[in-house]
Every structure is written in structure tokens, then in C-alpha cells.
Chain A
Amino acid sequence: MRLRIPVSWKSKRFWGETLEAYIYLLPTLAVLGLFTFYPFVNAFRYSAYDIGTRTVPGEPVLVVTEGVDDWMALLRRGRISEELSEFLHKKFSINPEKLWVRLRQADRWVLREEEGGREFVVLRESETLTVRPAVTRWDLQPVGWKNFEKVLKDRDFHKALLNTTKYVVISVPVTLFLALLLATLLNQGVRSRALFRTANFLPYITPWVAVAMVFRWIYNRDIGLLNYLLSSFANLFGTQASLFDWLNDARLALPALIIMQVWRFTGYQALILLAGMQGIDREYYEAARVDGANAFQAWRKITVPLLTPQIFFLLIISLIGSFKIFEEVMILFMGSGPQNSALTIVYYIFRKAFESGHYGPASAASVILFAIIFILSLFQLTVVQRRVHYER
């Protein structure tokens, strides 16, 4: 085999343009390199390590030679001399009221800032004291596949996987189906379309934190709006509805989450589908009418098949998006739901890493999440792209 060198490689202009293009790409590549590619590689690497932290003293910022005994006497009682807090306030803008002695040893004290989490080490070295900012060192111990074993055996992870799957499998088709119905309704030549369009977008663009807070309030067992509406509805039929404890009943946690998400995304998806419907040539419907098809048949045989690009697009992005759900859960339940009934994969990762400090297993769980998303993305790229019915 002979390598063919493209003609352009020999031209000076091509290389000049190459240099110029990379200069234009540099900012993007630099930021992505540091904050996407590098962490991406590390996510795999860390999944094979046990990761612990160690606080070690850094370079001294203050050396005390006078009044050493007084300083130490205070530190032994867990107090900080005024000079020291003033110094730390000036140099590191640490609020003296938020500083406390976290660790007291014979010749070593660790001071901790309550909210910022910065730490300082006071070391006694013969006749002097030195103050040094603490540096976090990461201890990496290779453990092979142990993190994966741990995660895969962890019942919480099973629960997270199961909850996330249930959530995805229910919320994605329900939202899409309702969106299809809504789009069909909106496509019937509705007047004041602008009003409906705005209304359908609002849940989607409203900051989700606010939405989750409002739903938390709506789901309140005793004085929430939803239970009130349900019980009034039941009263109409002369029955008594029992109160649903949406937020504290393990069986109702996922439904509560799904209702909220369906409310948020149906309108948006309907608008995407509506745009697709309006792109369908009227002639198809004319032809169908001539052939004696009724409205439902036309919808089933013309509208839906010609909408497959939009439907599959929405299906894939909502599948991928739904697998990553977490933040909404945290606000809605102020935790992972009763008995972890709304614990999701990302919640599991977050909790493992940032609440328990088990960074290795959290990385392993991240890799598993990536595998799931990756398979879905590949599915989109290969199967769906080929099989979807595109008009023209």
C-alpha cells in the first residue's frame, strides 16, 4: 500500500491556514482539555484507585518566636490568640468568629475555617511556632477492580439503578405520548396560538429549583394543593379520598417525581412535534381524504410516521437526560426520598464522593453511568439514524 500525500500538504498556504485555525481553536481546546478531556481520562483512572485525603502542612507563612508559651497555652484550651486571628484575617481574609481548633496534639494544632473549609496548621519546632496553610494531598492506592466490585455489590447502587430505570422507563414514554396528543390538538388550527406556545414553553424555561420547590409545597400531605384537589374531586363522586403522602411514602416518591417532570417537559416536546407537523405537506392529507380515510386514520398513517425524526430525536435526548436526573430529587425530597426511594445513579455518585469521601467507588459508578449513556448515544448514531423515516 502506498500512502498518498494530499496535494494541499505541499502548499505553504495550507500550513499557514492550519496555524491560524489552531490559534482560533486554542481557547476552546484549552478549556475543554483541562476541564473535560483530562478529567474524563482521570475518571477511568480513579475508578481503579482507593483515594484518600491527607492534610499536610505547607510552607510557613508566619514564624513566632516571642510569646510562644502563651500561644500554646491558648491553643491547648482550643482557643486562638488575637494576633493569630488578626494575621489570618488580614492575610487570608478569614472571619475570626468562624475559625476553630479542629485538632489538638502535643506540638501540632489544626485550625479550620467553618464555611470555607480552609485549614491552617500550627507547628511547634523547638522554641518557635510556625503557622502554615494546610494542603490537601490525595493518596492514591491502586486496587484494581475492587471499586467496581464494591459498587456492583452495594445494595444502594442496585436501588439507584432500579429507581433510575423505572423513572426513565415511565417518564420518557408518558411525556412523549402526552406531547404527541397535545401537539395534535394544537395542530387543529387553533386560534391564539402564540398564547399556547408561550404557555407550553414556560415550565421548560422556568428555573428548575423554583419548580421543585413549588411542587414540594403542592405535594404537602395536609395542606398541599394536590391532595386538596384530589379530595374535592373524590367528594364530587361522594367518596372519601385518603390523603396521599407524596413526599414521605416510599411508593409515591417516584410517581411524585415523574408527575413533576412530565409537567416540565410535555409542553416543550409538544412544540418540537408541532413544528414537525406543520412541515408535513398538506397534499398527503388531501390524498388521504380523497381515499376516504378518517381523521384518526390520517393521523396514524401520515402524521405519526412522518414525525419519526422528531419523535426519535426527543426519545433519545430525553432518555439520555433522564438517566442523569439528580438535582430535582435533592430539592423535591430534600434528600433521596423515603428509604432511598428516589435515589438515582447520579445521586449515588454525589453521595459516595462528596458526603462519604469514597472517591474511588464514586468514580467506578461514574464509569458505569458513562457506559449507559455511551450505549444510548451509539444507538442514536447507528440504529436510529438509519431506520428513521426522513421526509425527502
Chain B
Amino acid sequence: MYVLLLFTLVITALPFFWMVTTSLKEKTAVMRMPPQWIPNPVRWQNYIEAWNSAPFGRYFFNSFFIAIATTVGDVLTSIPAGYALAKMAFFGRGLILALLLGTLMIPGQMLLVPTFILVKNIGWYNTYQVLIIPWTAGVFGMFLLRQFFKTVPDELWDSARIDGCSRLRYMFQIAVPLVRPGIATVALLKFVGSWNAFLWVIVMTDKVELRTVPVGLRFLQMEMGDYHHLLMAAATMAIVPILVLFALAQKQFIQGIARTGLK
């Protein structure tokens, strides 16, 4: 049994290992058959060369900037919306809920053409807005937070209200700290999703200055298909931020993904 499990571990790890090994080889060593498992000599310089072979500084800045902005935006819009749907009784609540749930059935790719035409018309083509604003609200995060807000006891709000606390203040100062795990989950998933965004970026922009890391990698791949060692160095750089995030917040990640899986 352990043998089998070890085998799956090897299969999981092998592509990662191969990526890092290749990224540290000399160009001639890459071509060698049978392959070199441990690069000799180890060539760290590949990373510098890969970094300099395209404006990666700009790509990383864009990716971080867009991912942080959309994450903050999504959390800030999802908190009040999720709260309202969880805790407030209002006219049209059922209709709004159904409408928002319905959007989960719309495949995003279906909206590419009409959104592209819209974006051209409002002059947002090739701007940061188009990469950020449409992603600052999401049904997914909102429903997740709604589930969390539902667990907050109503008595808290009743006593806060008697003390003269406004709902907005109550929401952010009392309810939000209670649902912090939910917010962490929404933020993490949003950040990773934003970091991986690709199709949206290549449809809505075509400027080098607006490329994100995944889009930059694609162009690098088209420009230097044969330089496997440099491509693998670039790929390694692209996954480092997400792996670091995963290492720092592993618990929230795993709980979050398991929970969103089974709400």
C-alpha cells in the first residue's frame, strides 16, 4: 500500500522536479539523452536570463496589482451584499437571490464577444480598468460570505442596535471579525483566480505594458520555443508567489477549498 502511495507521490512530484532541474541546466545539458537528473553544473544564471528576456518586472507588477485590487474589491463588495442577503428582510429578496444564483450557470466564455464589444464601445480596451473593475464583484464570494454571516447570532445585532450602533458599523466592526475565516477563503481563492487569469487579458488588451505573468509566459513561449531551460526558469518564477501563499495559508486554503466544494 505504501508502495502505491509512494508511486503517486513520485508521479505528482516528477513534473515539478523536472521543471526545476531543467531550469538549472546549461543549454547543451538540456538536450542530452539519457537526461541528466541533477544538473551539472548548476546554472542559476538561467533565472537572471529568463527574467531579462522579457519585461518580467512589469508582468509581475501587473499580476500583483490586478490580483490585489480585484481581491480587495471583491471582498469589499461581497461583505455588504452577503450580509444583506443573509440577515436582512427586504422587498425582492427572493428574486435577487434567484438572479444571483442563476449567474453561476453562465459560462464566462459565453460573455467574451458581447463584453469585448462593450469594452471597445466604452473605451476601456487596453486599460487597467477592464482588467480590474469587472472582477471586483463576484457571486461566488458573496454566497460564501452569506453562508458565514448566517451563522452569526441575531442577538448580537439586537443588542448592538439597542446600544445605538448603526448597521454599517455593526457589520464591519462586529460581524466581519466573526466571519474572518470566510473572508480569508474568499480572498485566497480570488487572488489565485486572478493570478491565473489569461483569456480575459488576451481578449481585452493587446499591449505589452498590460500583460500579466501568464500572458507574458505565453508570448515568451512563442518567442523562444527551443530554450527549454529558460522557459522552465520562467515557469518556476511564475508559480513561486502562489506556492508561497499556499505555504503561508495552507490551512485556510484546504479548509476553504473543501468547504466551497461542499457547501
Residues of A within 8 A of B (CB): 8-9, 14-15, 17-18, 20-25, 27-32, 34-40, 42-43, 46, 51, 115-118, 136, 138, 182, 185-186, 188, 190, 196-211, 213-218, 220, 222-223, 225, 228, 232, 263, 267-268, 271-272, 275-276, 309-310, 313-314, 317, 320, 323-324, 326-327, 330-331, 334, 346, 349-350, 353-354, 359, 362-363, 366-367, 369-370, 373-374, 377
Nearest-Cβ distance from residue A348 to partner chain B, whole angstroms: 11
The reply to whether B199 and A42 form a contact with Cβ atoms under 8 Å apart is: no
Q: In the bound complex, what is the Cα–Cα distance between A327 and B200 (angstroms)?
A: 11
The reply to whether B112 and A350 form a contact with Cβ atoms under 8 Å apart is: yes
The reply to whether A206 and B239 form a contact with Cβ atoms under 8 Å apart is: yes
The reply to whether B206 and A214 form a contact with Cβ atoms under 8 Å apart is: no
Q: In the bound complex, what is the Cα–Cα distance between A215 and B231 (angstroms)?
A: 12
B51 CB–A CB distance under 8 Å: no
Q: In the bound complex, what is the Cα–Cα distance between A32 and B199 (angstroms)?
A: 19
Stretch at the interface among B41-49, B178-186, B218-226: B218-226
The reply to whether B218 and A324 form a contact with Cβ atoms under 8 Å apart is: no
Interface CB pairs A-B, < 8 A, 28:
A14-B91, A18-B92, A20-B90, A35-B118, A36-B106, A37-B103, A38-B114, A38-B118, A39-B111, A43-B110, A43-B113, A185-B1, A185-B4, A188-B1, A202-B12, A207-B213, A207-B239, A210-B19, A210-B238, A211-B15, A213-B217, A213-B235, A214-B18, A217-B18, A218-B15, A223-B33, A225-B18, A275-B262
Residues 70-112 of B at the A interface (beta carbon under 8 Å): 76-78, 80-81, 83-85, 88-93, 96, 100, 103-112
Nearest-Cβ distance from residue A46 to partner chain B, whole angstroms: 6
The reply to whether A210 and B239 form a contact with Cβ atoms under 8 Å apart is: yes
Which residues of chain A are near B8, meaning CB under 8 Å?
A: 182, 185
Select A17's contact among B5, B88, B121, beta carbons within 8 Å: B88
Q: In the bound complex, what is the Cα–Cα distance between A319 and B225 (angstroms)?
A: 32
Nearest-Cβ distance from residue B221 to partner chain A, whole angstroms: 6
The reply to whether B35 and A116 form a contact with Cβ atoms under 8 Å apart is: no
Which residues of chain B are near A38, meaning CB under 8 Å?
A: 114, 118
Total number of residue pairs linking A and B with CB closer than 8 Å? 271
Which residues of chain B are near A267, meaning CB under 8 Å?
A: 12
The reply to whether A275 and B111 form a contact with Cβ atoms under 8 Å apart is: no
The reply to whether A115 and B208 form a contact with Cβ atoms under 8 Å apart is: yes
Residues of B within 8 A of A (CB): 1-2, 4-5, 8-9, 11-16, 18-19, 22, 30-35, 76-78, 80-81, 83-85, 88-93, 96, 100, 103-118, 120-121, 125-126, 133-134, 136-137, 139, 142, 167, 192, 195-196, 198-199, 203, 206-208, 213-214, 217-218, 221-222, 225, 228, 231-232, 235-236, 238-239, 242-243, 246, 250, 253-254, 257-258, 261-262
Chain A binding surface, main DSSP class: helix
The reply to whether B114 and A228 form a contact with Cβ atoms under 8 Å apart is: no
Which residues of chain A are near B5, meaning CB under 8 Å?
A: 185-186, 190, 196
Select A205's contact among B84, B105, B206, B246, beta carbons within 8 Å: B246
Select B111's contact among A40, A196, A326, beta carbons within 8 Å: A40
Select A334's contact among B76, B121, B198, B222, beta carbons within 8 Å: B222
Select A209's contact among B4, B31, B133, B218, beta carbons within 8 Å: B218
Chain B binding surface, main DSSP class: helix
Q: Which residue of B lies closest to A354 (CB)?
A: B203
Q: In the bound complex, what is the Cα–Cα distance between A213 and B231 (angstroms)?
A: 8
Q: In the bound complex, what is the Cα–Cα distance between A339 and B198 (angstroms)?
A: 24
The reply to whether B208 and A206 form a contact with Cβ atoms under 8 Å apart is: no
When A32-B137, A214-B15, A218-B15 are in contact, do A40 and B106 touch as well, CB less than 8 Å? yes
Q: In the bound complex, what is the Cα–Cα distance between A62 and B44 (angstroms)?
A: 52
The reply to whether A272 and B258 form a contact with Cβ atoms under 8 Å apart is: yes
Q: Which residue of A lies closest to B91 (CB)?
A: A18
Q: Which residue of A lies closest to B81 (CB)?
A: A28
Nearest-Cβ distance from residue A5 to partner chain B, whole angstroms: 12
Q: Which residue of A lies closest to B99 (CB)?
A: A37
Which residues of chain A are near B199, meaning CB under 8 Å?
A: 326-327, 350
The reply to whether A17 and B254 form a contact with Cβ atoms under 8 Å apart is: no
Q: Which residue of A lies closest to B210 (CB)?
A: A116
The reply to whether B88 and A310 form a contact with Cβ atoms under 8 Å apart is: no
Q: In the bound complex, what is the Cα–Cα distance between A279 and B2 (angstroms)?
A: 23
Q: Which residue of A lies closest to B166 (CB)?
A: A20
Which residues of chain B are near A214, meaning CB under 8 Å?
A: 15-16, 18-19, 232, 235
The reply to whether A31 and B242 form a contact with Cβ atoms under 8 Å apart is: no
Q: In the bound complex, what is the Cα–Cα distance between A30 and B80 (angstroms)?
A: 14
The reply to whether A25 and B110 form a contact with Cβ atoms under 8 Å apart is: no
Select B207's contact among A21, A115, A223, beta carbons within 8 Å: A115
Nearest-Cβ distance from residue A215 to partner chain B, whole angstroms: 7
Which residues of chain B are near A222, meaning CB under 8 Å?
A: 33
Nearest-Cβ distance from residue A194 to partner chain B, whole angstroms: 9
The reply to whether B1 and A31 form a contact with Cβ atoms under 8 Å apart is: no
The reply to whether B33 and A201 form a contact with Cβ atoms under 8 Å apart is: no
Select B34's contact among A8, A213, A228, A331, beta carbons within 8 Å: A228
